């Protein structure tokens, strides 16, 4: 197994992620959040959804799941760790990425294609993209308004039209090493023409290229 996709109670994008990774030639397997062993995985994805019903705050309960210890260990070791949508919120709650999420500025649940621009290519998710490259991928969130009072977050993909009030128009944020990235829109839902866009491919292909054993696929 190359890519472990963590399933929390209330996750709902794990099948999409597993499908997209396999479509792009990677190997992916869903892993239950109560598992603790990620030793067979070279990379991990925290998928979108509403883990634990977003009780208290988005990601607040999920970050306490047994598997999160292993996710943190992988992040610290330099392995690729990707959080998508709710997975991004979980990484922030866990303190693995800086900042936190509040409700969208206009209190709208945004569910549409949006345009983003890659602003930093020194991360595992953006290494195959060009600076300034515009991508059209679906956004599907109510609490997508990223806030970082410390201004330490490294914004690597930005919205071009500020749909939700996110600070610095952040759509994706990386840790300093670039091996951990959280992204609010869904690249896995923009991987086939049938879905209306294939712009998510360059991001997931970069991610897979950074997975050690996937490079031999």
Among all residues, which ones are annotated catalytic?
A: 85, 186, 188
Residue among 203, 201, 144 nearest 23 (CA): 201
DSSP element (H, E) containing 71: helix 67-77
DSSP designation for 48: -
Looking at beta carbons only, is 37 or 106 nearer to another protein?
106
CB of 53 to another protein, least distance (A): 15
Secondary structure (3-state) at 61: coil
Q: Between vectors from CA 31 to CA 180 and to CA 155, what angle results, nearest 5°? A: 15
Q: What is the widest separation between alpha-carbon atoms in the chain?
A: 46
Looking at beta carbons only, is 108 or 217 nearer to another protein?
108
CB of 33 to another protein, least distance (A): 17
CB of 59 to another protein, least distance (A): 9
Looking at beta carbons only, is 93 or 205 nearer to another protein?
93
Catalog residues that contact another protein under the rule CB under 8 A: 56-57, 60, 64, 92-93, 98-100, 102-107, 145, 147-150, 165
């Amino acid at each position: 197994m190359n890519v472990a996709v963590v399933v929390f109670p209330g996750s709902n994008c794990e099948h999409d992620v597993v499908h997209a990774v396999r479509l792009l030639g990677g190997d992916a397997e869903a892993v239950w959040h109560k598992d603790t062993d990620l030793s067979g995985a070279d990379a991990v994805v925290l998928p979108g959804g509403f883990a634990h019903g977003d009780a208290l705050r988005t990601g607040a309960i999920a970050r306490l799941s047994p598997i999160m210890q292993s996710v943190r260990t992988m992040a610290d070791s330099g392995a690729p760790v990707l959080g998508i949508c709710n997975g991004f919120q979980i990484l922030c709650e866990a303190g693995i990425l800086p900042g936190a999420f509040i409700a969208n500025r206009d209190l709208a649940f945004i569910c549409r294609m949006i345009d983003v621009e890659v602003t930093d290519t020194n991360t595992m998710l953006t290494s195959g993209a060009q600076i300034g490259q515009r991508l059209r991928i679906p956004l599907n969130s109510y609490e997508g308004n990223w806030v970082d009072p410390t201004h330490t977050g490294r914004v690597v993909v930005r919205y071009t039209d500020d749909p939700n009030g996110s600070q610095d128009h952040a759509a994706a944020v990386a840790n300093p090493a670039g091996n951990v990235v959280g992204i609010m829109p869904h690249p896995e839902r923009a991987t086939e023409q049938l879905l209306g866009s294939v712009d998510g491919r360059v991001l997931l292909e970069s991610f897979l290229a950074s997975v050690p054993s996937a490079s031999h696929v």
